[in-house]
Structure 1
Amino acid sequence: MSKLIDKLFGAIDHVTERGSRQMAHRLGRRTFLSFVGKVAVGGAIMPLLPFDRDGGGTARAAAEKTDQECEYWRYCALDGFLCTCCGGTINQCPPNAQISAVTWVGTCQNPGDGKDYLISYNDCCGVASCGKCLCNFNLRERPGYRMGVHNDINWCMANTQTNYHCTVAAVVGLGNSNG
């Protein structure tokens, strides 16, 4: 078996050496250095080039989103599992889960009517984590010291049952158009 491996490595070595020598005869050092320079500069510039982050999402945006998809308009500032995927509704916690005593809010635009709505995001607590339909949107999120508009907090800590299960997104009212 070792003789076979030695022959294989010998053949690879021979082909590589022959290719390297032929390339050295055809190309000069300057050409080679120019090629290496282009590859290095191209590799350094590649992260700066623009690219399509939505992965074709604009084509999918035409289709109406359901309340079990992260791209649904009410979920623009949601960070957590969707209760609609966990046995609840968009406004109500699943059975045996309690709504959090505190909440965070966001303003989301409904593409259907073009209006901004104030959305109250309430965590549902007291049951083990759902683990389905995880969404994480940080649109216009504020720093952590502005607790009422920060979505990275376990809001169940205000309840006696602190286990996080999922999050509901209830429309509270129309957003202020005055800015």
Structure 2
Amino acid sequence: MNLFDTILERIDRFTERSTRTVAKTSGRRSFLARAGGMMLGGAMLPLLPFDRTFGQAMAATPTDGDALVCEYWRYCALDGNLCSACGGSITQCPPGSEASKVSWVGTCRNPNDGKDYLVAYNDCCGKPICANSPSCLRSEGERPGYRMGLHNDINWCMANASKGYHCTVAILVGLAE
């Protein structure tokens, strides 16, 4: 018997012992349970929120009070297209679209009075993405993605019947305390 046959025999014995050990410690049911869990997890993967940043850089710091530009103070945590440039307003979705059922919240400082305000950002859903509007990516105070209510890189239209993203509005909720 040569060296090559000896090595193959050892590999064969090791594989047989390992396979028998696994067969003794786990059964078909546990294998089926794990395989079913992996299949169910794989089926749920498309339901997860997805990233809308498209690799864009953060917008510049606010310098203008105009609600048609990304630097407007209310847009400090906005990620998306401005509804005010798409036929809507700062607080209302354009005709033919509806506000998302869920939103994210940011705290923005008004430079005119120096106070911090809570701002709710709602995506407007049901129409194709608004190409007439600048795409804003303002992430001041953004939290990691596992804190869903504080994260703006998600298509929040996923809760609506019509999941197509159109633009985003910024609604003042009140003073931050």
Where in structure 1 do 4 or more consecutive aligned residues deviate above 6 Å?
none
Indicate the SS of the match to 2:174: strand
Q: Does 1:86 align with 2:86?
A: yes
Gap regions ≥5 residues in structure 1? 1-56
| 1:133 Cα deviation from its structure 2 partner | 1.3
- Compute the TM-score of the two structures, normalised by the length of structure 2: 0.64
Structure 2 counterparts to residues 13-162 of structure 1, below 5 A: 61=63, 64-131=64-131, 132-162=133-163
Q: Distance in 2 between matches of 1:142 and 1:161?
A: 27
**Which TM-score applies when normalising by structure 1?**
0.63
Task: State the Cα deviation string for residues 33-79 of structure 1 (Å, max 9, x = none).
Answer: xxxxxxxxxxxxxxxxxxxxxxxx78x93xx4210010000000000
Q: Distance in 1 between matches of 2:141 and 2:170?
A: 16
Cα RMSD over matched residues? 1.7
Residue-by-residue CA offset, 1:64-107 (whole Å, 9 max, x unaligned):
42100100000000000000010000000000000000000000
The residue type paired with residue 83 of structure 1 is C
Q: Give me the whole-angstrom Cα distance separating, in 2, the residues matched to 1:123 and 1:111.
A: 25
Q: Which residue number corresponds to residue 169 of structure 1?
A: 170
**Separation in structure 1 between the aligned mates of residue 173 and residue 164 of structure 2, nearest angstrom:** 25
